[in-house]
Amino acid sequence: MEIKPIKTENDYTDSIKRIEVLWGAKKESIEGDELDLLCTLVESYEMHHYPIAPPDPIDAIKFRMDQMGMTNGDLAKYLGSQSRVSEVLNRKRQLTLKMVKSLYKGLRIPAEILLSENHTSKLH
């Protein structure tokens, strides 16, 4: 087992191929340990070279509403009123800090998503 840092795209491709060969290896075996290490290295490389931007806050709210079977009316208790819900979901009103706190506490939407770059500059 020769493990080395992933520095290039070729190293990355080779590591992925090796992971495919090792997939399903028994834990606490030499192959299993190699698989764990390679997965950690690949994950680190991907996070650095292929970062995933956080989801749009409004899309996250809509997704959470769908997950919970909520209607726009149900969201009023978190945003203040039905008209405010409509304005926020139609991107005509920015989320306020009070709304963010309410959505975080009530719907468990991570604050870092609700406070993404395109919304933090206009918080009230």
Sign of CA dihedral 73, 79, 80, 84: negative
Q: Does 2 reside within a domain?
A: no
Average pLDDT over residues 101-120: 85
The per-residue pLDDT for range 45-70, each reduced to its tens digit, is 999 999 988 889 999 999 999 999 99
Helix residue ranges, H only, 1-121: 9-22, 30-49, 57-68, 72-79, 82-89, 97-107, 111-114, 117-120
Predicted pLDDT of residue 116: 82
Predicted pLDDT of residue 124: 43
The residue range of the domain holding 104 is: 57-120
What total number of domains does the chain contain?
2
Instruction: Read off the pLDDT band of 98 (50, 70, 90).
Output: very high
CA torsion, ordered 58, 97, 77, 108, to nearest 10 deg: 60
Q: Are 61 and 45 part of one and the same domain?
A: no
- Please compute, for residue 92, the number of CA atoms within 13 A of its CA located in the half-sphere on the CB side: 6
The CATH number assigned to the domain holding 99 equals 1.10.260.40
The per-residue pLDDT of the chain, averaged, comes to 91
Q: Are 20 and 62 part of one and the same domain?
A: no
